[in-house]
Amino acid sequence: MKFTIAPFLQYYKDKWDDIWKKEEYKWRAIDTFQKNWKRISDDKENLHVVLKDAFKHTYNLFYFAQLDSLLSNALYAASDIREALNTLFDESRNLDERVSEYREKFREITERNNKAGCFQGKTKSSRQDDRTISVYLSLRYPDKYYIYMKKIFVASALQLGYNDCYKRLFTDEITNLHKFNRFCDEVKLHIVRDKELLDIYNKYLQDNCINDYSRNNLLTQTFIYSICEHINLEYQYCKPIVLDSSKIKPSSRPNIEFKKFSSDTNYIKEAKEQASLGSHGEQFVISNENKRLKDLGFDVCCIHKSKEKGGDGYGYDILSYEDDGKTLRYIEVKTTSSGFSTPFYMSHRELEFSRRHKDNYYIYRVYNYNATKKGGNIAIIKGDVTEYGSYPVQYRIAIKSDEL
């Protein structure tokens, strides 16, 4: 997953200011709930008033009717609602069991109050679906749960190529929350490794005097939400240029330059930027390849193979199809932000794979790539490219000594 996350993660950081302005209320919502939690458990407090205070910043998180039912029931059956919430929040018990018991109690309370005419002639909903339950749990235990939304789960899982293919069950099926939590936890493993993002995030928390009760869960939640709502990774279409391999020649042997070490050079940052550029280039090619297949009338999509093993594990990056829609096409993507003649690197595995599969092996040379505009140029080179890789830049050294 980390290779498909990389382009989105870069945009997440680039757009952080705008995203924060739109999503900050979620941090406020959790902070407000945490500060009011003890009052909810206090039977001396007016539960209706306390719940209104506790859910003050939760606009956009709840379906109105379901939160309204909770608040209305708290007016006429405070002790029962308090008991139901305590059941839901009892972490010593199995989640499935306590959610089921909470829903049953809430249904009984609502039906009883509806029959008694407590709501000024109106009928309140007894429904408490998976999204609503996830909000309650996330507000109470933000470091353990995530706020579930069906469309966000479906869209983001598809964008990131999540292996556990998501199929939503019935609305009241708590398995939805289990699957979403697993998905979010896996995404979190990758984004918390990005020191630059954590530095940006912690600075905003400090500048805005906000506590992160969630231990980066909310940061992860917002990233997943942003993939669908705030980050546009619609790549430009580029009609590739198919090069005649007989007219391609290797450049002259490059001069080896020894650059002086500079303490001002951030080599780790440069490596990350190059990896991000490579990820963008692969996504750019996938977008254009899928359009080619669709225009040919095939109901198939290419497969991003390099994300499965990472690096050059397969010897190519993308598995696609020839114009007949059946014959496999092996694609290796090489991306630079500069011109076509800029040198690029291939591993021994990649070169060997091109030799063995020369009839359906392709280099998609992405050049002049602009990450901001999400576009560039593509030149296609077909066949065995070993003759172009004649200048090794790394050697395997094996030594031994009788003294050791």
pLDDT, one tens digit per residue, over 57-90 is 998 898 889 999 999 999 999 999 999 999 999 9
Q: What is the mean pLDDT of residues 118-130?
A: 93
Q: Are 383 and 356 in contact (CB under 8 A)?
A: no
Measured in whole angstroms, the distance separating CA 322 from the mean position of its chain's CA atoms is 30
Identify the band that residue 257 occupies on the pLDDT scale cut at 50, 70 and 90.
low
* Average pLDDT along the chain: 86
Q: How high is the pLDDT of residue 5?
A: 82
Average pLDDT over residues 258-285: 68
Torsions phi, psi for 399 (to 5 deg): -135, 160
Flag whether pLDDT at 320 surpasses 90.
yes
Q: ∠186-146-96 over CA atoms, to 5°?
A: 100
pLDDT of residue 266: 58
Sign of the alpha-carbon torsion through 51, 56, 57, 61? positive
Confidence (pLDDT) at 330: 95
Domain ranges of the chain: 2-63+129-229, 241-256+263-388
pLDDT tens profile 360-385: 999 999 999 987 778 899 999 999 98
Percent of the chain exceeding pLDDT 70 equals: 84
What pLDDT is attached to residue 378? 94
Instruction: Check pLDDT > 80 for residue 192.
Output: yes
* Better-predicted residue by pLDDT, 30 or 249: 30
d(CA 37, CA 40): 5
Burial zone of 200 (CB within 10 Å; 0-12 exposed, 13-18 middle, 19+ buried): middle
- The pLDDT value given to residue 14: 85
> Domain 241-256+263-388: which CATH class?
alpha beta
What is the pLDDT averaged over residues 295-317? 77
